[in-house]
Structure 1
């Protein structure tokens, strides 16, 4: 099964809306809610409400066009910049931010964020707050040393990344190069927050199988440590769903402080 050829998220055609509906929706038959929605949101609530992750600028670079984890960040960070390596995902995210016709509804995620913060009556306010905090949605390319070339971004106080390293990295060396490029977006003393799937090799969208770089918790921690990060929070949740659409074994959420500048 694992020998079957797989597509790459950033190189091949990718149905961004189908991806959201399959893995992040509130549909009754969407079986990934515990791992893909609730797990990162609960941990984001803890990290961002704890006070040890703070600043002005947050840069998010995640796979697909999901934004649910950012609902918990917009109380802390007033300037959020979203980067996308896939143009369709860029367009999907921008459509939601600008409240355009046909935009994907994240009401279920904003409701969960409001509940976590004890503000269940302020769902609409939470949605508008996040949209107001997002200043830019920008395309990026990991083939460039500066992934947003020719745009030069402000150095971030926090970088959040959900699954992007998993889906664009082909092997361990590729993962390290990509992680280093993301790290350069972050100031020393700032925090990198990674959400990842462990021991996975594929995920399925619209009947097409896409690549995931297979790694475990130790690999991710060692990769961060090699680049000068100190891990200050880590949570792992064993897979809760039963589906053949993807083969991950657990979900990982990790926060690490950057102690030195990458050359």
Structure 2
């Protein structure tokens, strides 16, 4: 099946079931997925805690955001002036719009907000979680289509951005390390010089499953491959934090890497 047939077909990829599988802190969730969710939220919190002050007023692009995956924006919101949410699949953009519009059928992402705001930020104000959700909703000014395999990875959006945030997007969309590096080059063109890319990548895997269906995941043999691709794409100051894990029925990934880098000035 083509990428369009996979991700625009709820029979092969169900956006809400994906979210319940891979983005849950519930005690009922698969333990490995729950651990990964905590890892991602922790690393994003630490990144914005460190770099947020210098990014105050920044424009953020969430690229390949999937079905309403605003979790990378929870820690970012206090420093952002605008967020553009870009996603390839129409059905995923619909789920994202349901959440932004606060519709009754929207994904319940409140537990993720609670973890970040109440636990990681130690904000005990009873209104703080709701206020952060409202803030993220208001900061997302556009939900737009994107395709990393097109010559223009993003169209009809004002450039440049100060931060490009992308998590498990390229590895599910491209077929080779060469295409992966080219994709990073395309993302670099969306950033201002000195802007930052924030990523979570999977290492060593070839697939992941949603409701038993096996989906493509590009095999990146090591974190060094990611670093080399970023450098070739024009990035510097590459920083990584990793979490190793055994393969499971969900996927055959052996390591996750939270990666940040700075686009070199011309």
Q: Do the two structures share a fold, i.e. TM-score over 0.5?
A: yes
Q: Which residue of 1 aligns with 2:40?
A: 40
> How large is the RMSD of aligned CA atoms in angstroms?
1.8
- Residue 109 of structure 1 deviates from its aligned partner by 0.4
Within 5 Å, which residues of 2 pair with 1:53-132? 54=55, 55-65=57-67, 66-114=69-117, 115-121=119-125, 122-132=128-138
SS of the residue corresponding to residue 80 of structure 2 reads coil
Deviations 1:22-42 (A, max 9, x none): 11123333121111x111111
Determine if the alignment matches structure 1 residue 231 to structure 2 residue 237.
yes
Residue 156, structure 1, aligned to residue 161, structure 2: yes
Shift of the alpha carbon at 1:100? 1.1
Relative to the length of structure 2, the TM-score reads 0.89
1-structure distance, mates of 2:4, 2:207: 14
Does the aligned pair in 2 maintain the 1:10–1:168 contact within 8 Å? no
Cα–Cα, structure 1 residues 106 and 176, in superposed 2: closer, same or farther, change >3 Å? same
Question: 2 CA distance for matches of 1:63 and 1:199?
Answer: 22
1:1-263 correspondence to structure 2 within 5 Å: 10-12=4-6, 13=9, 14-31=13-30, 32-35=33-36, 37-51=37-51, 54=55, 55-65=57-67, 66-114=69-117, 115-121=119-125, 122-149=128-155, 151-215=156-220, 216-239=222-245, 243-260=248-265
Q: C-alpha displacement at 1:231, in angstroms?
A: 2.6
TM-score by length of 1: 0.90
Consecutive aligned runs of 4 or more in structure 1 exceeding 4 Å deviation: 7-11
Kept in 1, the 8 Å contact 2:65–2:85? The answer is no
Greater relative CO (CA pairs within 8 A, separation 6+): 1
> Structure 1 190/26 Cα, relative in aligned 2: closer, same or farther at 3 Å?
same
SS at 2:74 equivalent: helix
Q: Which runs of 5+ in 2 are unaligned?
A: none
Q: Which runs of 5+ in 1 are unaligned?
A: 1-6
- Compared CA separation, residues 46 and 181, structure 1 to 2 (3 A): same
